[in-house]
Structure 1
């Protein structure tokens, strides 16, 4: 094609194509997309695109080379920032058509620049107002339907908020809105591919997602049951029905199975990263159902000072903000302690002091190994004391301060299933160690603080 203006100068003279000349030709393509001018004869007047944009050094000059119809688009008129990204795309194209081959970027660099541009543009062009249903699901509703529906706040966490939305068609969904996502769109899609494949009876099933620079929305089916936090610590009036021991144990078994399944994904490297009682629901069989799976990997690390529930964080996470499967085990151990004691993961005394449930239970047991830390509503289950002690020891193993001393989730599942069999008539090989409960040691400073807390609690009782 002797009249084509889409080949690099060195190709015109040598006829030898190279990767650098490919970059030049791709640069011409970018300039075509922006200017709507053709570099090739054939029903069009061929334009020397390189010469056309050569004087576009300023924003004002750059705007003059863009396709006039492109500038009339409503999305560009309503979002002035898009022009900035168009200019950036023009600059990428200009760098690709540099006369000297060695001054052109490599294609890997071009790909990265384009992907970064796509994300920085806030997806206002590429993904604006688009709700993507996973597994080729048929869209039953759209983003507008969600935004116009009546919604109720289910909870707020360190990374975002959860809402229950009732759509016009009568269906109910749960929408999780995240504000601290710190990955590229490509990385987000790769992670969504892992998340939606988490098919398990004890892991909440992802239905759809939405991605933009400012917000990420994940959509799940609504479970007709409350989350464990609400069931344990919610309304405690006369109409409240407390959880019985068997239900609490079923919650523990189901949630453990779900977390174990999560840990087995992505080459056994996937981490939940945000395990807490408000992220565990009851399914129809009254077993624990884990939600919010795997999102911590995509979030900007949150400092402990702004964490809403630091009581669930393993010691190493408080220091580094790096989550792991071992820190998941610690957080799950805190949930087990909640199920046993009925207490919050952190408690505040009258003078404003905050004490973690882990440290409180560890201290109580260090003072008196026969102390009963069970929820008062569980006192009537006299024949279940053995299983309660077994679960307490398992929880203490999970919240060991040293990550290497914590059990793996497959071990946790196995022990919980054995404990569960003891209350359904089966036999268990799990020893309760009634006289040898092993909490972590507590240093003198922590001991003195906990003594003061216990005294405060005693004064309140008196």
Structure 2
């Protein structure tokens, strides 16, 4: 009996394993894991039951002794806290793969008990805390903890004991900044080294060439500088090399072509220069990404023979010459983007030969010839952008009807011919840009079939005929821009069915007939331009219900009374050159009727006599007042000019006298280079800001003395200072610039201008009042413990908002608007701490009508923000604004002023940041100490954007559109404060509504 029992026990041990725990123990450990991770509710874990052997559990592999050896639960979709303590009790565990799930908690020291591990994969989870000493895990061959939330210093020295490592993947974590880890030099078995976004600084060391087994080397998104070391050419087994988004300089080292197995190479967003000749032997390339560098020369003709190449991005460089004719014709080519270079010749014809191409982007070059007919059959295309080239000819008919295309951008070329009727089959078409060409013929009725179209811009072409009535079927159309064509006939009533329209521009055509009343029923319309046509009849009363930000019906043949809702000062220029229009509600149009009635000679005589008597009385009163004024004290030199002229740009609830009466010392809140600023609380309770600009410098000096109480000295002060102030003509130009710019801008991140009030001596600009002052004040002013500092959340939102405002100025107009004085004191903050770009006294619209240079031949701006090109040329463009904005970003991240004594004589913040980043010091030390630990990774990304913006060469700086994109990406993974609370400047605000719920007063 006893031997039988013993035999049974031995059999159980064989079946369920031994070691430190038996099968029962291992099963319980795994069942506990199932409970803690909620695997009961996840499909695929039905086998994890108490009556089943652990070796039969899904994702579990046992060794020959039936002990658990491998746990592979990658990408199963579970969440919970990582139970390392119990898992490390599995005596035979050699693989733990839990990557691509939602594990959280800290990566504790318990992992050191897993001494038998050969593979540890915890990538793409939400683990946090500091990585412990890993030296006990000396059998590890694979260590992958990438894409988590780890922070603090990484224990680099412990890797010295992990000499069996073949895969080391630590990227996409928030480790403390460190030099390139020397310990990696000893890991000679490495085949995969992933250190992207691990805050490594300094140069890529020459010893990298000793890791000759490497097939994958990824060092992107760090703070690497210097040149690519020549020793890298020894890594002839490399299959992937990623160096993007660093500060690498120099050229590709000689012999780079020896990396003959390289399939994926990305060195974009660096400062690389030279040509591409060293890449001509890399004929196994599948993807080549080199955008945003300073590369020049031609694209090697050998690229046309690359049989595996499917992705090519070379945009925003200085490349020239032709693209190889056979480019992309061998493999299943996916996309090409060579935009913003100096390329010439024809577009390669066969990149869609295999029918797989999705994006063709060659805009902003000098390509010529026509669009190859082969692309008319490229049904896989989603984006087709060839604008701003010298292309010509008729667009192949099939281009218009591509079934998957969502953007067709042909603008600013020399295309001709009609829009093909096949456009009705372009069901995915979202944006159609064909302006500034020579297209002709009628707009096809079939265009309504492009039912997804949101933007249609065909300005400056030669279209004729009528606007098709079928346009009413385009329910998603938001912007219709057809100015400067030869379109005739009537505007179809059906346009009122385009319920999404926000902008209609049909100016400068040959349109006739009435304005359709249906336009007034468009619920989202805010801009309407029908000027310079032959429209007749009355203005529909329905337009009164539309809140227009821009309305222009000038130079037509309209008649009758302007509807009362439109006869306001905000639209004083909207009805010019329509002799038949009238209004009894505004003095800017002739009156429609006379209240006295009749036209008899007797009445005229009576009226003439009354007016004459009234004129004599006025003359007598005027003489009396003049004599009295001459005898009055000199303090009346500041008397108000009776000839103030108010020009309104929005609907107003005040008049000019209420503003003028408030220009006094007690309301003064600021002084700028172009005038004083006053806070004016109106009778209605609304608060506005008023900038007071004196046209006469002597009057300005006198006013300053008078407002300080020194009436006797005001005249002499004016005389003394008149020669030192800027001339009246300069101030006048500033005033005109600011009014011209701001009156036409409607953007949430640009300050609102309500009206201008002018006289011979002075000018007033009335803006919205921003109660939280300027960004400069919030960052740098002494606050005495009160509200003034800004939390990182607020700083980031200010950076993105201000960037969007500048992006609108640079890219949202037919001609870019150059601000020319971007600085933190010109970024104002509303009650929710949202930013507004302000002070357009130096703004200039680039590319003026009639030609001319695109540069501003002046030296404006503020010391510390001025781009370096001012030192060697007066020709500047929007990249100068980008530089100044980069300085603002540095202020936001570092908390420093643009000029500080600690930077040294004649040195600024750009120099200081550059020196610190290149000196080997910790970049984290550059950050403002008030930025919390959780936000530092995000702040460092913003600092990287600032460094790109302040590149010395304008061509190296990104556009504001790219800056917005990079800032948005920088914040995409940023950790937000818990329980959705945001602290801004001493206030706490709850939820996504910003400042609507104040939780805590300062």
Q: Which TM bucket (shorter chain)?
A: 0.5 to 0.7
Alignment counterpart, residue 238 of structure 1, candidates 769, 785, 790: 785
Change beyond 3 A, Cα 1:187–1:164: closer
What is residue 376 of structure 1 aligned with on the other side?
A: 929
Report the TM-score when normalising by structure 2: 0.28
Within 5 Å, which residues of 2 pair with 1:60-459? 128-135=643-650, 137-142=652-657, 143-148=659-664, 150-154=666-670, 156-167=671-682, 169-178=684-693, 182=729, 192-212=739-759, 214-240=761-787, 242-293=789-840, 295-297=842-844, 309-317=862-870, 324-348=877-901, 353-368=905-920, 370-371=922-923, 372-378=925-931, 381-423=932-974
How far off its partner does 1:311 sit?
0.5
How far off its partner does 1:364 sit?
1.4
5+ residue gaps, structure 2, are 1-615, 627-639, 695-725, 846-855, 977-1002
Distance 1:238 1:284 in 2: 19
* Bigger proportion of residues as helix: 1
In structure 1, the residue corresponding to 2:746 is in which secondary structure? Answer: coil
How far off its partner does 1:411 sit?
0.4
Distance 1:233 1:173 in 2: 25
What is residue 39 of structure 1 aligned with on the other side?
A: none
Cα deviation, 1:5-35, whole Å, max 9, x if unaligned, reads: xxxxxxxxxxxxxxxxxxxxxxxxxxxxxxx
How far off its partner does 1:416 sit?
0.9
Q: CA RMSD in A?
A: 4.0
How far off its partner does 1:69 sit?
12
Q: Decide whether the 8 Å contact of 2:645 with 2:759 is kept in 1.
A: no
Q: Decide whether the 8 Å contact of 1:149 with 1:165 is kept in 2.
A: no
Change beyond 3 A, Cα 1:178–1:313: farther
Cα deviation, 1:296-350, whole Å, max 9, x if unaligned, reads: 339x98868xx7x311111223555665311111111110000001011112369
**Larger RCO, structures 1/2 (Cα 8 Å, 6+ apart):** 1
The structure whose Rg is larger is: 2
How far off its partner does 1:248 sit?
0.5
Distance 2:660 2:826 in 1: 26
Change beyond 3 A, Cα 1:214–1:324: farther
How far off its partner does 1:204 sit?
0.8
Distance 1:329 1:253 in 2: 13
Distance 1:147 1:275 in 2: 27
In structure 1, the residue corresponding to 2:836 is in which secondary structure? Answer: strand
Distance 1:184 1:159 in 2: 7
Distance 1:191 1:233 in 2: 27
Distance 2:970 2:777 in 1: 25
Change beyond 3 A, Cα 1:366–1:211: farther
How far off its partner does 1:267 sit?
1.8
What is residue 379 of structure 2 aligned with on the other side?
A: none
5+ residue gaps, structure 1, are 1-67, 79-123, 426-462
Number of equivalences: 308
Q: Decide whether the 8 Å contact of 1:158 with 1:302 is kept in 2.
A: no
Change beyond 3 A, Cα 1:243–1:303: same
How far off its partner does 1:225 sit?
1.6
